[in-house]
Structure 1
Amino acid sequence: MRLRTAVTAATASLVVAASVTVTDATAAAQPSNGARHACSSSTSVDGFFDGLDKTVFQGTAVGNLSGLAVDTDGTVAALSDRSQLFALKVGKGPVAAPVRVVPLADEKGAQLDSEAVVIDHDGSRLITSEVEPSVRRYDRDGKLLGRLPVPDALRVAPAGRATLNLTFEGLALQPGGRTLIASMEGPLSGDAKDAAGRSPVRFQTWHRGGPKGEFQLAEQYAYPPDPNMGVSEITATGDGRLLVLERGFTAGVGNSVRLFLADPRGASDVSGVENLPGAARPIRKTLLADLADCPSLGATAKQPQPNPLLDNIEGTAVTGRTRDGRLRLLLVSDDNENARQTTRLYALTVRLPRHV
């Protein structure tokens, strides 16, 4: 989502060569001697990279990055909300460079407000747009292959009850590739706050089960973001649970970015519930880290931030595991083509608790 105003609102293994050249020696920062830089007891930040900020690749601005996914060839698919899909070669640091860019379009050839990307088992791309909202399927060259069904209530008003730019912001494919989940960024009209002051948002699922292996509408779950936060990304952990990135923004203060572990198993199906929260059992979650608590690693910010490392973080991908079982994460911030914001990559490691 493009934050223009104050808003209070399948695990894969990545093997890439670390041969990407960094032209600016200050563009990448990482811990020395393998030291871990703790954000919390479970999460550490291992480095950041600003070398993509305000750059151009093959005539296309590298920015507005809102979604990440590890591709079948080991590159990282980086989705721009200006209807472009980049392939990034990512090494340590996390130093990165674009090696390909493909334009995307809807059925009429118009641009998308593309926000999240998943790579399916056949290499096709499932991509959300938060305008309708929609989930479309594309081949590697950006050819539109199809579109998934979406419940009427999740459509943007007046067709449904959703608010423009507060719809499908995150997308995750569960292990085995049989369940796809899209996360709404904000609540539907008519949905209310719970007793803790949280405004539940809806996570829509599809199960692969059609005669041709297509995705069909399935359960819907309620997820409770913290007050004044929205859901900017979800990522499968590989064990049936999800990483959920919550984000907010306050003018003069900056961004709030928190990483949660969530478990949709045991949550109630709310596809038939008109108004949340009701008696539905929401998705359980536990805080892994408030990224404002991470060491800054020497990062600088172009606007006020509670931690200069922070920016408008929107994309997350699991890129592998450490030898001791921790998840390796890659995050990216969306600069909105704004001179006061930065396209920044972050490398994190996370040890998942056994229970949420």
Structure 2
Amino acid sequence: MRMRSVLAAATAALAAATCLTAAGPSYANSPQGHACSPSVSIDRFSDALDKTTYQGTFVGNFSALAVDRDGSLAAVSDRSALFSLDGRTLAPRSVVPLADESGAALDSEGLVVDRDGTRLISSEGEPAVRRYAADGRVLDRLPVPDALRVAPAGRAVSNGTFEGLTAFRGGLLAAMEYALSGDTAGIVRLQTWHRHKGSYELAAQYAYRADTGLGVPEATALPDGRLLVLERGFTSGVGNTVRLYLADPRRASDTSAVEYLTGQPEVRLIRKTLLADIAACPDLGATAKQPQPNPLLDNIEAMTVTGRTESGALKVLLASDDNQNPSQTTRFYYLRVRV
């Protein structure tokens, strides 16, 4: 999303590899096992795509990543562009413009490459989840609960809806970035869809509490039903906060029939466990164009799992959204995550 103050093909790639109750160097390498926490280490980062263009399109504004069926990376920009990137070098291979059914540009935020090669892409403005052909044609649009629509149509705040999108239990999961009006601050809703005969039908909804002042820009499902969840915030003059959590919705309540998530002690929220605060990672010689708690940090918004290491750790790729802003950087982060 365009950041304000106060990360089924991905699942297939995982399987194959397998409550609340350019400025500077293109690549920087680290010794294996550079620890951010006991659970997370960072191998390297890449600024190779920062402030570059491809076929006349600005390369950046990345809001989501997914592993394509051929091993390349699909990357969506929130300025209505879908890129294909080389899975090893990140070099752009193609770019496709995105639009809604009337041809209007989108604030595209989440991305899943479906088993048939079509792209499921969430848009934050309505919000909506649309199915696209590889050439950018709109094929379908998924149903969305009325309460999740941006006010006055629903209770969602503008610029705070479907940031995260992931294949989930054979269906789909979308994460709201911020709480609905009337819900307790910090409690965001995660909406799921069940896949039925090639289409998606509304299914269970869950509640997740983000840390104070943070939102949820991305969620990525693991084969066992748990989620990797990114939480993020920004404070002017201080910089970004980015934390990676392991979340378990398997015993959480279905909140689809709960109108207001406030004063509801019987509602079991998704349990979460902190894996790492990215500010605690070694900076690897990174530089920042604005104040940051760690110069490695930027507006990290995209996440996908690209495989597993020989030891069984997840290979997790993050990317930042530079908002096409000279004071921000398009940066990719290569993590190893043990869950």
TM-score, structure 1 as length reference: 0.90
1:50 aligns with 2:51: no
1:249 aligns with 2:248: no
Work out the percentage of aligned pairs sharing the same amino acid: 64
Which residue matches 1:187? 179
1:142 and 1:326 mapped to 2: Cα distance? Answer: 34
1:59 and 1:148 mapped to 2: Cα distance? Answer: 32
Post-superposition offset of 1:90: 2.6
1:72 and 1:164 mapped to 2: Cα distance? Answer: 33
Conserved 8 A contact 2:44-2:284: yes
Post-superposition offset of 1:192: 1.7
1:231 to 205, 216, 237: 216
For residue 27 of structure 2, what is the amino acid of its counterpart? A
Post-superposition offset of 1:240: 0.9
1:248 and 1:292 mapped to 2: Cα distance? Answer: 12
Structure 1: gaps of 5 or more residues: 15-22, 194-198
Which residue matches 1:118? 112
Post-superposition offset of 1:213: 2.3
RMSD: 1.3
Which residue matches 2:59? 62
1:104 and 1:25 mapped to 2: Cα distance? Answer: 31
SS in 1 for 2:147: helix
Post-superposition offset of 1:180: 0.6
Which residue matches 1:19? none
For residue 165 of structure 2, what is the amino acid of its counterpart? L
Post-superposition offset of 1:27: 1.5
Structure 2: gaps of 5 or more residues: 15-21
Which residue matches 2:29? 30
For residue 2 of structure 1, what is the amino acid of its counterpart? R
2:259 to 274, 282, 287: 274
| Aligned residue runs from structure 1 range 1-356, under 5 A | 1-3=1-3, 5=4, 7-8=5-6, 10-13=10-13, 26-32=25-31, 35-91=32-88, 95-175=89-169, 178-193=170-185, 199-209=186-196, 212-277=197-262, 278=264, 279-352=266-339
Conserved 8 A contact 2:239-2:293: yes
For residue 11 of structure 1, what is the amino acid of its counterpart? T
For residue 232 of structure 1, what is the amino acid of its counterpart? P
For residue 123 of structure 2, what is the amino acid of its counterpart? S
Post-superposition offset of 1:25: 7.4
1:179 and 1:11 mapped to 2: Cα distance? Answer: 11
2:268 and 2:288 mapped to 1: Cα distance? Answer: 40
For residue 25 of structure 2, what is the amino acid of its counterpart? T
For residue 236 of structure 2, what is the amino acid of its counterpart? A
Post-superposition offset of 1:26: 1.3
CA distances 1:12-53 after superposition (whole Å, capped 9, x unpaired): 438xxxxxxxx8871200114xx2110000100110000100
1:305 and 1:25 mapped to 2: Cα distance? Answer: 18
For residue 28 of structure 2, what is the amino acid of its counterpart? A
Conserved 8 A contact 1:11-1:319: no
- Bigger drift between 235-244 and 293-302 goes to 235-244
Which residue matches 1:18? none
Runs of 4 or more consecutive aligned structure 1 residues displaced over 6 Å after TM superposition = none
Call closer, same or farther: CA 1:25–1:292 in 2, change over 3 Å.
closer
Call closer, same or farther: CA 1:333–1:25 in 2, change over 3 Å.
closer
Conserved 8 A contact 1:11-1:320: no
Post-superposition offset of 1:258: 0.1
CA distances 1:223-244 after superposition (whole Å, capped 9, x unpaired): 0001110001001122211100
Call closer, same or farther: CA 1:337–1:148 in 2, change over 3 Å.
same
Call closer, same or farther: CA 1:25–1:192 in 2, change over 3 Å.
closer
SS in 1 for 2:279: helix
Post-superposition offset of 1:11: 3.0
SS in 1 for 2:82: strand
For residue 79 of structure 2, what is the amino acid of its counterpart? R
Post-superposition offset of 1:179: 2.1
CA distances 1:249-280 after superposition (whole Å, capped 9, x unpaired): 00000000000001111100111111114131
CA distances 1:128-183 after superposition (whole Å, capped 9, x unpaired): 000000000001111110000000000000000001110000001025xx221000
